[in-house]
Amino acid sequence: MRGWDLGDTRMNDTSANPRGGALGDTLFRGASLVAALTVLAVLGAIILMLVKGSMPALGKFGFLHFITSAEWNPVTEQFGALSPITGTLVSSAIAIIIGLPVSFGIALFITELCPVWLKRPVGTAIELLAAIPSIIYGMWGLFVFAPFFAEHIQPLLTATLGRLPVIGALFEGPPLGISVFTAGVILAIMIIPFIASVMRDVFNTVRRELRESAYGLGCTTWEVVWKVVLPVTRAGVTGAVMLGLGRALGETMAVTFVIGNSHDLNTGLFWPGNSIASTIANEFTEADGEIYTSSLIALGLVLFLITFIVLSLARIMLIRMSRQDGAKS
Amino acid sequence: MKRTLAAACAAAAIAILASGVASAGVKTITGAGATFPYPVYAKWAEAYYKATGVKLNYQSIGSGGGIKQIKAKTVDFGASDAPMKPADLDKYGLIQWPQIMGGEVLAVNLPGIKSGELKLSKQVLADIFLGKITKWNDAKIAAINPGVKLPEMKITVVHRSDGSGTTFIFTNYLSKISPEWKEKVGFGKAVSWPTGVGGKGNEGVSSYVSRIPGGIGYVEYAYALQNHLTWTKLENHDGAYVTPTAANFQAAAAGADWAAAKGYYLLLTNQPGAKSWPITGASFILVYKKADKPENTRAVLKFFDWAYKNGQDAALKLDYVPMPEKVVDMVEKKWSQTIKDASGNPVWAK
Amino acid sequence: MNLYARRKLLNVFNLTASVLATAFGLFFLVWLLWVLFARGFAHLDPALFTHDMPGPGSEGGGLRNAITGSLMLTVLGVIFGAPLGVMAGIYLSEYGRGGWLAATVRFVSDILLSAPSIVIGVFVYEIMVAPLGGFSGWSGAVALAIIALPVILRTTEDMMLLVPDTMREAAAALGAPRWKVITRVVLRAARSGVMTGILLSVARISGETAPLLFTALNNQFFSLDMSRPMANLPVTIFNFAMGPYDNWHDLAWAGSLLITLVVLGLNILTRAFLRGGNQKG
């Protein structure tokens, strides 16, 4: 990185050459800067709209009350966001818990184990999962996966994990197949290709010499991946997970079909629940009255805040990890 | 990558060119709102296009959406299952009229019980949705259903998760028959349900009911028919148990006094009459009284006039109930009286 | 157990798990495709492309207008979003590296990525549809572009950072101005990655339903007029899947299959094209 920065001065020195560098450089740099600023402007405008729109509701209920109250009653106009916030966090957490190990496995398979002729087909196939639009996941989830889940997987989980102390309580609920857990599973399937394909690309960037020297020292394939490839690519892997988590937090259509859309809070993951995005999708068109609409926009604002916090935490962790590395070496 | 971009640019250029050509073509009208009448409006639009070459594009984004969009003037007309209050109509300078009627039914999933075998009284219906009756073999249900073998099964209430005009009509009915419901829950396009799970759209409710043994939910009649759901008989205002048929929806609508209803604010739930189906509702169209684009508004009125006169068969075929001729005359008279262009001339003239 | 045996066992166990994970992922793909084919293939006939949407209770019909509309919306969305995304990605990887502005933009883009698409729809509604007084294809394309933007930006940056600095330095040493280094050397080296990002964004936006609900709306008739409501596949699939009629359900599944096949085909075609390009370069 530093090398390129030094290169910078060298480039400026040569920019006066007859091939017309200076003007081109200024223009190109300017254009890319404008593009980058546009990204900021778009988010700025969205947040401005969200803040402006959520003022009536937050003014009435107070921010703290809004995010800690579980009451959601359009008739009496009492709104609290606790249930959708919980649903969003829990379903995304389930998605990462299931999706991360699977994605890692897939990336490992493709980069280290897979015979060369199979690499491309498998990689493409996994990426195709990402190509499938979320509304199709939603329809498939509602009409195919949820009944299957309710009939076969849920009783199995209740009978096994449900018996465990403490966490057992998580695995209970009516046999509908429509639940926060189902939403988490479908989210996991949706984010696996994102995480896996970025992980694969990142693993592939690790230089061959590094791998080969590890193998030369007698490392097993697993050790090469776990102790050489993964530490080198940690930043990229975290980026991949963030990409997946980002998608899971804001996913709308697929979740709306299978999460059950109930504003009740339950310990059991097999109960119908709600997420922020699905609440907005369900109720935005029909929300009449300023406070109702404003509460839904406030939910959107809360989702932005959650994303902000999650991403900040991830970044802090990343920085801490790289510091530890520095200390060790 | 350059080549792909070039190809993409070419495609865009074609698109822009094409859009220029198309905008010089035929007249199109845009409307949006209620999902409940969407099938019949879309059907009318198809036939109207064949008859006149005018494209009326109706999109079902929800009743609240219909009201919002007409207020924001993004559409030529809005549609809503929940009528706007007369005061609100005046406030925004809108006029509304009933265009089509239909009924809602209670769908159940009980092993061995066929459509029309189960009867529900007003009291029982309210108690089920309040969560006070929780088993199908409850004595109160058994008392009105002699000879029906009721299973010992938990009742799972299924309601709409999205806000909807369907919910508005159903909860309005519950408020009329149960003081307790009125006080605890009230009515609206979305309410705080005492019990149950929420499905998205009529289809969501249909699919939950058909999947959950012991489930009960309210859906539009067309959905119950098309999805082969088991419907129940309901006790109506006069205490008779009636079946959901177009004739009984019409019976409920027959007594409706549209002339006396200011701004046509009238809900057809719990209408008197021995044959009246208790959960009947009308769907409304909204336009501005003062037309910014009189040409568009005239096109809208022409379409709905055509639909009133030529759309009955299509409506009945789709299990909707057309408005009685008397009401149509009244509505059209209202059009010519109230809808004016910028210079005050009536937009609609016979 | 000795150390070697344990290491070997751990290796075998984890590698087996990795194979199983791949099988798990592929299983869902096969399942989804199987459902799509089983329910949609029978209706994937010429009529799908030559007939417009059927009215309720009408026999047959196709999705010609929705297919055309979706194509235009997606292409325009990418045309709006890709240059911005790629240029912003270039800024992050080439100019702003390590600076606070780049860090902010990167962070903001990650947040945009997880913004619920319905909020973006509402946003475009507020800035375009309501002020301009009508739903339009243009506003739909803008909403899709906003969704595509962070996907393209992120991949462009990642992929350009993978190009070793030695290549930049070599080109610079030859006297190339910086913008030429970036476009001719770095972008060229990273193009398959950048293309992947653009493709990912196409995949993402081609099926987006929520943001179109308030922008492009939908249209039951055939229309190429971008300044009017525009028919599109996702909203049509949603309406038809939720509707009561059997032929609507069939068309919804056929449309779902179609979107999926097109995106798959696009993926494979571009890959082949890229491979050819790389060999020449």
Indicate whether C33 belongs to any domain. no
- State which amino acid sits at residue C239: N
Which chain A residues contact residue B192 at CB under 8 A?
Answer: 71-76, 263
Nearest to A275, CA basis, from A46, A94, A65 = A94
The verdict on a CB contact (< 8 Å) between B30 and C229 is: yes
Indicate whether C119 belongs to any domain. yes
Q: Which of residues 68-87 of A touch B (CB under 8 A)?
A: 71-76
Indicate whether C137 belongs to any domain. yes
Indicate whether C244 belongs to any domain. yes
Mean pLDDT, rounded, for A151-164: 85
Backbone angles phi, psi at B314, to 5 degrees: -60, -40
Residue B225 has pLDDT above 90, yes or no: no
The mean of the pLDDT values for chain B is 87
Residue corresponding to tokens 């476009």: C183
Which residues, 6 or more positions from C77, have their beta carbon under 8 angstroms from its beta carbon? C140, C141, C142, C143, C144, C145, C147, C148, C205
Query: Rounded to whole angstroms, how far apart are CA atoms C62 and B204?
Result: 24
Backbone angles phi, psi at B299, to 5 degrees: -65, -40
Beta carbons of B105 and B206 less than 8 angstroms apart: no
Cα C12 to Cα B114, C9, C19, distances in angstroms: 57, 5, 11
Q: Bigger pLDDT: C146 or A285?
A: C146
Nearest to B193, CA basis, from A261, A287, A176 = A261
Lowest-pLDDT range of A51-60, A101-110, B54-63, C198-207? C198-207
CB-based contact (8 Å) between C259 and chain A? yes
Q: Which of A15, A17, A28 to mutate to test the interface with C (most CBs of C within 10 A)?
A: A28
Domain count, chain C: 1
Is the C-alpha dihedral spanning C203, C207, C210, C211 positive or negative? positive
pLDDT at B78: 94
Tokens for B179, please give them.
Answer: 């003081």
Is the C-alpha dihedral spanning A210, A215, A221, A227 positive or negative? negative
Cα A106 to Cα A241, B15, C33, distances in angstroms: 14, 41, 19
Beta carbons of B80 and B283 less than 8 angstroms apart: yes
CB atoms within 10 A of CB B131: 13
Q: Which residue segment(s) compose the domain that C120 sits in?
A: 46-280
Query: Rounded to whole angstroms, how far apart are CA atoms B149 and B163?
Result: 35
Distance of CA A180 to the CA centre of its chain: 16
Domain ranges of chain A: 2-60, 63-328
Query: Rounded to whole angstroms, how far apart are CA atoms B3 and B5?
Result: 5
Task: Tell me the residues of C at the B interface, defined by beta carbons under 8 Å apart.
Answer: 54-58, 72, 75-76, 78-79, 82, 129-130, 133-135, 137, 191, 194-195, 213-214, 217-221, 223-229, 239, 241-246, 270, 273
pLDDT at C146: 95
pLDDT at A201: 82
Instruction: Identify the bridge partners of residue B290 per DSSP, sorted by sequence position.
Output: B340
Burial of A198 by CB count in 10 Å (0-12 exposed, 13-18 middle, 19+ buried)?
buried
CB-based contact (8 Å) between B21 and chain C? yes
Residue B28 has pLDDT above 90, yes or no: no
Per-residue pLDDT tens over the stretch B144-155: 999 899 998 889
- Which one of B19, B42, B225 has the shortest CB-CB distance to C227? B19
Residue B15 has pLDDT above 70, yes or no: no
Per-residue pLDDT tens over the stretch B71-117: 889 999 999 988 999 999 999 999 999 999 999 999 999 998 999 99
Indicate whether C144 belongs to any domain. yes
C245 CA to chain A: closest CA distance, Å? 16
Q: Which of C12, C14, C22, C124 to mutate to test the interface with A (most CBs of A within 10 A)?
A: C22
What DSSP string runs through B87-121?
A: HHHHHHTEEEEEEEEEEEEEEE--TT--TTT-EE-
Lowest-pLDDT range of B108-112, B134-138, B198-202? B198-202
- Which one of A126, A284, A304 has the shortest CB-CB distance to C118? A284
Mean pLDDT, rounded, for A283-289: 76
The CATH number assigned to the domain holding C211 equals 1.10.3720.10
Which residues, 6 or more positions from C173, have their beta carbon under 8 angstroms from its beta carbon? A10
Q: Bigger pLDDT: A15 or A94?
A: A94
Per-residue pLDDT tens over the stretch B244-270: 998 899 888 887 888 888 889 999 999
Mean pLDDT, rounded, for B271-300: 91
Mean pLDDT, rounded, for A253-262: 84
Nearest to B174, CA basis, from A200, B46, B151, B166 = B166
Q: Which of A75, A285, A292, A297 to mutate to test the interface with B (most CBs of B within 10 A)?
A: A285
Which chain A residues contact residue B186 at CB under 8 A?
Answer: 75-76
Q: Where are the beta strands (DSSP E) in chain A?
A: 72-73, 78-79
pLDDT at C260: 85
Q: Which of C178, C180, C184 to mutate to test the interface with A (most CBs of A within 10 A)?
A: C178
Beta carbons of B69 and B75 less than 8 angstroms apart: yes
Which chain A residues contact residue B208 at CB under 8 A?
Answer: 176, 178
Beta carbons of A104 and A199 less than 8 angstroms apart: yes
Nearest to B197, CA basis, from A191, C123, A142 = A142
pLDDT at A328: 43
Which residues, 6 or more positions from A8, have their beta carbon under 8 angstroms from its beta carbon? none
Query: Rounded to whole angstroms, how far apart are CA atoms C59 and A205?
Result: 55
pLDDT at C199: 81
Backbone angles phi, psi at B235, to 5 degrees: -80, 130
Beta carbons of B248 and B275 less than 8 angstroms apart: yes
% of chain A at pLDDT higher than 70: 89
Mean pLDDT, rounded, for A238-255: 83
Which chain B residues contact residue A283 at CB under 8 A?
Answer: 162-163, 190
CB-based contact (8 Å) between B204 and chain C? yes
Indicate whether C39 belongs to any domain. no
pLDDT at B228: 87
pLDDT tens for each residue of chain C, 281 residues long: 688 888 889 889 988 999 999 999 999 989 999 999 999 998 888 989 999 988 877 778 899 999 999 999 999 999 999 999 999 999 999 998 888 999 889 888 888 887 778 889 889 988 898 888 889 999 999 999 999 999 899 889 988 988 899 999 999 999 889 888 998 889 988 888 888 788 878 877 888 888 898 899 899 889 888 989 999 999 999 888 877 788 888 999 999 999 888 877 777 776 666 565 454 33
pLDDT at A2: 38
Nearest to C36, CA basis, from C201, C253, C266, C208 = C253
What three-state secondary structure class fits A189? helix
Mean pLDDT, rounded, for B258-284: 91
Chains near B with 3+ CB pairs less than 8 A apart are A, C
Distance spanning both ends of chain C, measured CA to CA: 53
Q: Which CATH number does A63-328 carry? A: 1.10.3720.10
- Which one of C79, C129, C133 has the shortest CB-CB distance to B8? C79
Lowest-pLDDT range of A316-320, B167-171, B320-324? A316-320
CB-based contact (8 Å) between A325 and chain B? no
pTM of the model: 0.83
Query: Rounded to whole angstroms, how far apart are CA atoms C213 and B61?
Result: 7
